[in-house]
Amino acid sequence: MDQIKIGKFIATCRKEQGLTQAVLAEKLGISDRAVSKWETGVSHS
């Protein structure tokens, strides 16, 4: 899977659970910017 597909998968799962990026980030102990980067495929880590 490439980063774009993974990002879309994360976004889809998050939305199905009714979570915002901020809420998901809080649950994971990370920043909402990190979630945004994952969903857009920008993150390289």
Closest CA to 41 of 1, 19, 24: 1
Q: What angle do CA 14, 37, 20 make, to 5 degrees?
A: 30
Q: Is the pTM here over 0.85, yes or no?
A: no
Q: What angle do CA 13, 3, 37 make, to 5 degrees?
A: 70
- pLDDT reading at 33 higher than 90: yes
Closest CA to 15 of 35, 43, 44, 34: 35
Higher pLDDT, 41 or 18: 18
Q: Calculate the average pLDDT of the chain.
A: 92
What's residue 43's pLDDT?
60
**Residue 43: what residue type?**
S
What's residue 21's pLDDT?
97
Higher pLDDT, 9 or 44: 9
What's residue 39's pLDDT?
95
- Assigned token pair, 1: 């899977």
